[in-house]
Structure 1
């Protein structure tokens, strides 16, 4: 049995909703922490599959701020993004992806521990899942405010699984479920299996070519996903 680590946006949740408040929180941080023009700073920035710390550094460095200065204020920017989001989170609606609840219910019945591996800042990710009725299924997770590289979140997830749930597992017992080729790359870089879900950011072909061990069209393919996890 594998322990699945789920991505949030585009995998567990349908697109839109809370993501606008999340992005606006980033803009608020760019303006108040780094003094950037928050309307122009997102130009030519692709956020799909990236973690929040990585996105913040990429944006501010592309807008002329040195890596050293960007890094020095990174925690302040994370706090500003979080504060803004939590104040405005009711402006959007977070909706569970098709099949998400049924899949999580089945995995719980099979006594599979459920974790998260997401680019979201922890408080933001949990809030999104709570609004969609999904937070209750997850016992631990690794979030985008905890590392600078997505692959490093795998070990953080393992450490949290040990601390919070008492799971004494090696990294090889974990796997990722995500909708981006960067989710697949993260798993491959960490030498763990990955299921690609072609619901939002990447097509089935792109996920397969990136090296996903299983590709599904949506979480409605519950039986295929559960079989992969339990085998």
Structure 2
């Protein structure tokens, strides 16, 4: 199939269930009834799936940690993919021997400084979109059979900074972010609840598709009972995503037709 290849497919598993968002999307007024067939709720990860913010993102994260805690720990060896931003701070500082009470007290300040620096860095050099992402995100956002949203480890402001710099923020109706729950798996129910509240659709896990590039994305989708479409444009190999239980694994999104079939088919 060329650059994009389907490596694995299996039937989605069963549900689980259970609100801040980016753009307005086609959202209902409070109390407004929604009728008609239920659309797919498509939940996109950001880093590695849609874009790469490049070395600048890790560099400014490091600078912020050093400014606040006096150390960035072993950030060079740390794997960011699939992690929530507050968890990254906690992991790095705990491993560096910073007391838990200090991390709890100063973690939000470290993230604020990181985000200030990130906004400046990405205004100078926009993130690089992964192959086919602009076309795919546009197609899902305008599909009458889908609601396009985010499920990401970025805190809300971080997701907005990255996606705004890439020209994609307005394509998403809402999001579940790294500051909405303590774990990635817990973000799934947050996304469902937010989707129900903002659209009026009674979404359940089986109505969702989680799209991501990391094993943590696959695990989140599995726990939610969603279909999982994984893409090997991050740091995780396609074979590892398949072993983790993704329903479909794509090498990238360069073939919009095949990617849409995987997500909405």
Q: 2:204 aligns with which of 152, 170, 177?
A: 170
Gaps of 5+ in 1: none
Q: TM-score, normalised by structure 1?
A: 0.87
User: Is 1:100 paired with 2:133?
Assistant: yes
Gaps of 5+ in 2: 1-38
Aligned to 1:134: 168
* Partner SS for 1:220: coil
Q: Which one has the largest radius of gyration? A: 2
Q: 1:44 aligns with which of 72, 77, 85?
A: 77
Q: TM-score, normalised by structure 2?
A: 0.77
Aligned to 1:2: 40
Q: How does 1:73-152 map to 2 (within 5 A)?
A: 73-111=106-144, 112-152=146-186
Given that 2:54 and 2:128 are in contact with CA atoms closer than 8 Å, whether structure 1 keeps it comes out as no
Report the structure, 1 or 2, having the larger helix content.
Answer: 1
Aligned to 2:86: 53
Q: CA RMSD in A?
A: 2.1
**C-alpha displacement at 1:114, in angstroms?**
0.2
Greater Cα offset, 173-182 or 78-87: 78-87
**C-alpha displacement at 1:143, in angstroms?**
1.5
**C-alpha displacement at 1:130, in angstroms?**
1.8
Aligned to 2:102: 69
**In 1, Cα distance between equivalents of 2:201 and 2:160:** 21
**C-alpha displacement at 1:129, in angstroms?**
1.4
Q: 1:26 aligns with which of 61, 74, 85?
A: 61
How many pairs are equivalent? Answer: 226
Q: Which has the higher contact order (CA 8 A, sep 6+)?
A: 2
Given that 1:41 and 1:63 are in contact with CA atoms closer than 8 Å, whether structure 2 keeps it comes out as yes
**C-alpha displacement at 1:43, in angstroms?**
4.2
User: Is 1:200 paired with 2:216?
Assistant: no
**In 2, Cα distance between equivalents of 1:168 and 1:48:** 31
